[in-house]
Amino acid sequence: MISAPLVIAVSFAYLLVLFAMAYFGDRRAEQGRSIIANSWTYALSMAVYCTAWTYFGSVGRAASDGVWFLPIYLGPTLALALSWLIILKMIRIAKAYRITSIADFIASRYGKSHLLGGLVTIITVIGIIPYIAIQLKAIATGYALLTHDSVDGFRAVHETHWFQDSTLYVALILAVFTILFGARHLDATERHEGMVAAIAFESVVKLVAFLAVGVFVTYGIYNGFGDIFSRIQAHPEYARLLSFEGASTAGYGGWFGMVLLAMFAVIFLPRQFQVTVVENVNEEHLRRAAWLFPLYLLLINIFVLPIAFGGLMHFGVGSVDPDTFVLSLPLSHGMEALALFVFVGGLSAATGMVIVETIAVSTMICNDLVMPWLLRSKRFSRSAHPDLSGLLLVIRRGAILIVVLLGYLYFRLAGEAYALVAIGLMSFAAVAQFAPAMLGGMYWRGGTREGALAGLLAGFGVWVYTLMLPSFAKSGWLDPAFLEHGLFGIELLKPEALFGLQGLDNISHALFWSLAANIGCYVFVSLMRAPSALEASQATLFVDVFKREGATATTLWRGSAEVRDLQQLVARFLGQGKTVRLFREYARQRGYAGINSIPADAGLVHFAETQLAGAIGSASARVMVASVAQEEPLGLDEVMNILDEASQVRAYSHQLEEKSRQLEAATEELRAANEQLKELDRLKDDIMSSVTHELRTPLTAIRALSEMMFEDPEIDLVERKRFLGIIVSETERLTRLVNQVLDLAKIESGHAEWHNTDIDMRELVEHAIDSTRQLFSDCGAELVVSLPEQAPKLLADRDRLHQVLLNLLSNAAKFVPKEGGHVRVELVSDDREVRVEVEDNGPGIAPQFLPYVFEKFRQGGDQRDRPQGTGLGLPISRQIIEHFGGRMWVESPPGRGACFAFALPLNKMRSDSADAEQ
């Protein structure tokens, strides 16, 4: 036995830790640094599926039915295998249309119907209240077990007065906690990051606690799995638990029904919808959750059978409720700390379920029951309540409190009447009724509002008759006569053997008949008439959510509205500040300057309705928006036309976009190519023009002089000789020009031949100077040469480099002044490059002409002192140097002559020239 204050203190401490987790999660969410934005948290929060019911009840079920506790976990594994198809679609739909609950989902799909939303909410509340009750019961039982000497003593709990009942306080504390983190503020998306963080944390705690007790029983009390299984076989009374057929009378049909039930439950339980769909941060998280969550279920079930068998062997049948084995086994072995930890694990399972379920159900109650009623009431005029966000919060909080208290009430009333597992499966069967309307709505366009209503009513009616009423009868609240003899004594109407169907357990039996009635009515009634315009448009938005995204929604609304009205309307429910923020963000995204410049078009109406849908449900949102906007109703034909058009236009526009992108790219390429061609053409033109000029100029002199000599025999010999001299020199000039043009063309086109050898630059410079020595003495210039002792060797074409040197030297000789000419030649080398400079003291080059010195036919800018030359020497030299990876440049400080220089790299030479030789 553990002292009550200690258990209470530990429980409170644990709740405070949860509180802190949730608070931290909310704070981080406000700062935009979400702690739940990862797939691990997402998968763990899904494990809210494992409630106190399974935490304690699985062992209980295993102790009575052997392997039959498993379908509850195999079903989710099957469902998660399809999560990337079904759940992803639900997430996408919910995000696109701000759907925050299953009731809203169904109501929105079938034409934003208040009636459907309300019906779904009522079914949920009726189906879920007992489920919440068993969570409270689990906590109460666990507490009693820990704090009483006798393991049977806890039954005394129910004899106490309600205000002495600690369970009431547990329920109230849970309600407060739920309100704090589920309804502290209004969020249009109904997301609760802090709560999700706390739930994920609880999932870890309950898994670790269950594994701890599992390891203790399996390896502490017994010697592993093999030991337990071999010992249990020694007990003939338990042998049936080891076989499939022996453990339960439900048979394979019952097993299949159970798997199916769990499959639906993991998708359609309100708390699962809340964590899986509404709280989903990123669709990609579903990838990991699809296997991590089933893996979690596998892990938490590994020790169920060993604990059940260990408990049975330890306590025997009947002395201790197998539902409490996880606590009573450690307690009976004196492991009080472990028992306390296991209790905390159970507390986790229970509180997690209650918190999420209550938030989900309270959202439904508020949006689909209370709001529609409020909006219809006369007192609820627009002017009377300018800001309703406070009222919304009060409704939410009230709904949470009421749901939890209803759960407590059921717990007080039902007490020990019915086993834990039975209640849980009843809830599963209730929410399974949503499957036809939900799945049909997501994949079939033909479903109508009446169809969904009929299906839900029929399915729920069968559920009440075959499961709920019998459970009441078994609890002694009803006369069990109808159970044994059928309603009005008609055998065929026996609730647990309807129309004589036998051989199934009561759950599978109820599931079969309720789903049959549900699906039958849904399909049959839906097919009685064609969908209305609103149904058809909503059906398309849901079924084609992946194809259409949000754009189509705006094409399906026609009418007029005022921005101010819409803003006021949204502000009434979401608060002024938040509304202004939302509208500003909307304006910013659409590229409008501010709220005032937003056009009041279908897009804005859709935006406003979507924001409202998050807060008050889609059906109410539609009613509210209709109150400020004048909608022109669309006929069915128009809707179908728009949808048809929209899909066609979309397909066309997609193709067009593709085409136009391709065209744009091609055009851009063409434009660039054309630009390049034009540039080349212009260059070619320039060069042609220059070449023409350079050719014609000498030809002019040659032709004129020779014509004159030819026609005029009287020209004297001296003149003739002078003219012939000019003709010869002009002919030489022509030859030189032709050679250089060809040379340059070859180098530029890459067809030049390069004969690379190892070159001693020092020797080469000396050689070039020797060849031009005559030139310098002719023009009377002084030549100063500065060469190092040793220069590194280069791999390059010797003749070409010689040509470059000759060009620079002869240029210098051309430009030096007649008197006092001075030319300096210098060779410098370091470990990276060899540099040659040729400096003269001529007129230099004006700064504005410096950039053009190396262009063809430029000849140093101003043609004032056009020297004998073709204007191609420097361009050719530069091409040669650049071919060897070097660079060539000129410096000409005003009044100080010109200094031409080039540098050749040492290390790069070899690889480059090797390429060139190929």
Partner 1 sequence: MRRGLARQRLVALFFAAAFLFNYPLLSLFDRSEQVFGLPVLFVYIFGAWASVIALIAWTVGRRKG
Partner 2 sequence: MGNKILIADDEQNIVISLEFLMKREGFEVSIAVDGEEAVDRIRSEKPDLVLLDVMMPKKSGFEVCQEVKADPDLAAVKILMLTAKGRDTEVAKGLALGADAYMTKPFSTKELVEKVRSMLAEG
The item of partner 2, partner 1, none sharing an interface with residue 255, based on CB under 5 to 8 Å by kind, is partner 1
Tell me the CA distances in angstroms from 779 to 769, 785, 808, 822, 895, one per residue in order: 15, 17, 15, 10, 20
Q: How far is the CB of 87 from partner 1 (least distance, A)?
A: 11
The binder of partner 2 chosen from 283, 707, 830, 917 (CB under 8 A): 707
Q: Does 287 bind partner 1 (CB under 8 A)?
A: yes
Q: Is 631 helix (H, G, I), strand (E, B) or coil?
A: strand
Q: Are the C-beta atoms of residues 555 and 642 closer than 8 Å to each other?
A: yes
Q: How far is the CB of 423 from partner 1 (least distance, A)?
A: 25
Q: Is 757 helix (H, G, I), strand (E, B) or coil?
A: strand
Of 376, 228, 387, 192, the residue nearest 309 (C-alpha): 228
The item of partner 1, partner 2, none sharing an interface with residue 81, based on CB under 5 to 8 Å by kind, is partner 1
Burial 677-698 (b: 16+ CB within 10 A, else e): eeeeeeeeeebeebbeebeeeb
Q: How far is the CB of 302 from partner 1 (least distance, A)?
A: 7
Q: Does 84 bind partner 1 (CB under 8 A)?
A: yes
* Complex with partner 1: residue 253 or 461, whichever CB lies closer: 253
Q: How far is the CB of 854 from partner 2 (least distance, A)?
A: 20
Q: Does 569 bind partner 2 (CB under 8 A)?
A: no
856 to 895, contacts with partner 2 by CB under 8 A? Answer: 862-866
Q: Does 698 bind partner 2 (CB under 8 A)?
A: yes
Query: Given its phi and psi angles, is residue 67 left (phi above 0), alpha (psi -120 to 50 degrees) or beta?
Result: alpha
Ranges of beta strands (E only) in 657-755 are none
Q: Does 215 bind partner 2 (CB under 8 A)?
A: no
Q: How far is the CB of 81 from partner 1 (least distance, A)?
A: 4
Cα–Cα dist 186/390, whole Å = 9
The binder of partner 1 chosen from 9, 13, 156, 298 (CB under 8 A): 298
Cα–Cα dist 437/519, whole Å = 8
Q: How far is the CB of 701 from partner 2 (least distance, A)?
A: 4
Q: Are the C-beta atoms of residues 815 and 840 closer than 8 Å to each other?
A: yes
Q: Does 77 bind partner 1 (CB under 8 A)?
A: yes
Q: Does 654 bind partner 2 (CB under 8 A)?
A: no
Find the distance separating the first CA and the last CA of the chain, reported in whole Å: 94
Q: Does 711 bind partner 2 (CB under 8 A)?
A: yes
The item of partner 2, partner 1, none sharing an interface with residue 298, based on CB under 5 to 8 Å by kind, is partner 1
Cα–Cα dist 357/403, whole Å = 9
180 to 239, contacts with partner 1 by CB under 8 A? Answer: 225-226, 229-230
Residue 217: φ, ψ to 5°: -70, -45
The binder of partner 2 chosen from 336, 544, 719, 837 (CB under 8 A): 719
Helix then strand then coil, % of the chain, to nearest 5: 70, 5, 20
Of 407, 464, 403, the residue nearest 433 (C-alpha): 464
Sign of the CA dihedral with 178 first, then 184, 189, and 192 last? negative
Of 4, 352, 397, 2, the residue nearest 166 (C-alpha): 4
Cα–Cα dist 241/383, whole Å = 68
Q: How far is the CB of 698 from partner 2 (least distance, A)?
A: 8
Q: How far is the CB of 868 from partner 2 (least distance, A)?
A: 10
Q: What is the DSSP string of 289-324?
A: HHHHHHHHHHHHHTTHHHHHHHHHHHH-TTTS-GGG
Cα–Cα dist 96/469, whole Å = 40
Cα-to-chain-centroid distance, residue 403: 35
Q: How far is the CB of 233 from partner 1 (least distance, A)?
A: 9
* Complex with partner 2: residue 452 or 705, whichever CB lies closer: 705
Q: What is the DSSP string of 814-838?
A: HHS-SSS-EEEEEEEE-SSEEEEEE
The binder of partner 1 chosen from 149, 236, 252, 848 (CB under 8 A): 252
The item of partner 2, partner 1, none sharing an interface with residue 418, based on CB under 5 to 8 Å by kind, is none
Q: Does 684 bind partner 2 (CB under 8 A)?
A: no
The item of partner 1, partner 2, none sharing an interface with residue 295, based on CB under 5 to 8 Å by kind, is partner 1
Q: How far is the CB of 723 from partner 2 (least distance, A)?
A: 8
Q: Does 705 bind partner 2 (CB under 8 A)?
A: yes
Residues near 393 by beta carbon (within 8 Å), at least 6 away in sequence: 183, 185, 186
Q: Does 640 bind partner 1 (CB under 8 A)?
A: no
Q: Is 796 helix (H, G, I), strand (E, B) or coil?
A: strand
Please choose, out of 91-99, 241-249, 520-528, 806-814, the segment that lies near partner 1 by the rule CB under 8 A. Answer: 241-249
Please choose, out of 52-60, 125-133, 287-295, 353-361, the segment that lies near partner 1 by the rule CB under 8 A. Answer: 287-295
Q: How far is the CB of 683 from partner 2 (least distance, A)?
A: 16
Assigned token pair, 236:
């003939």
Q: Does 244 bind partner 1 (CB under 8 A)?
A: yes
Q: Does 290 bind partner 1 (CB under 8 A)?
A: yes
Q: Does 700 bind partner 2 (CB under 8 A)?
A: yes
Cα–Cα dist 800/733, whole Å = 21
Cα–Cα dist 26/158, whole Å = 38
Cα–Cα dist 711/297, whole Å = 117
Cα–Cα dist 151/153, whole Å = 6
Q: How far is the CB of 268 from partner 1 (least distance, A)?
A: 17
Please choose, out of 336-344, 428-436, 512-520, 707-715, the segment that lies near partner 2 by the rule CB under 8 A. Answer: 707-715
The item of partner 1, partner 2, none sharing an interface with residue 252, based on CB under 5 to 8 Å by kind, is partner 1
The item of partner 1, partner 2, none sharing an interface with residue 415, based on CB under 5 to 8 Å by kind, is none
Q: Does 704 bind partner 2 (CB under 8 A)?
A: yes
Give the CA diameter of the chain: 154
Sign of the CA dihedral with 622 first, then 518, 458, and 415 last? negative
* Complex with partner 1: residue 224 or 847, whichever CB lies closer: 224
Half-sphere exposure of 581 (CA within 13 A, CB side): 7
Assigned token pair, 18:
């949860």
Q: How far is the CB of 459 from partner 1 (least distance, A)?
A: 22
Q: Does 693 bind partner 2 (CB under 8 A)?
A: yes
Assigned token pair, 394:
């009060």
The item of partner 2, partner 1, none sharing an interface with residue 863, based on CB under 5 to 8 Å by kind, is partner 2
Q: Does 245 bind partner 1 (CB under 8 A)?
A: yes
Q: Does 240 bind partner 1 (CB under 8 A)?
A: no
407 to 436, contacts with partner 1 by CB under 8 A? Answer: none
One-letter amino acid for residue 274 of the chain:
Q
**Could you count the other beta carbons within 10 Å of the beta carbon of residue 642?**
20
* Complex with partner 1: residue 119 or 304, whichever CB lies closer: 304
Q: How far is the CB of 444 from partner 1 (least distance, A)?
A: 18
Q: Are the C-beta atoms of residues 791 and 827 closer than 8 Å to each other?
A: yes
* Complex with partner 1: residue 284 or 645, whichever CB lies closer: 284
Q: Does 907 bind partner 2 (CB under 8 A)?
A: no
Q: Does 696 bind partner 2 (CB under 8 A)?
A: yes
727 to 756, contacts with partner 2 by CB under 8 A? Answer: 729-730
* Residues 42-71 as x/- pattern, contact with partner 1 by CB under 8 A: -------------------------x--x-
The binding site for partner 2 (CB under 8 A) comprises 689, 692-694, 696-705, 707-708, 711-712, 719, 723, 726, 729-730, 862-866
The binding site for partner 1 (CB under 8 A) comprises 67, 70, 74, 77-78, 80-82, 84-85, 225-226, 229-230, 242-245, 252-253, 255-256, 259, 286-288, 290-291, 294-295, 298, 302, 305
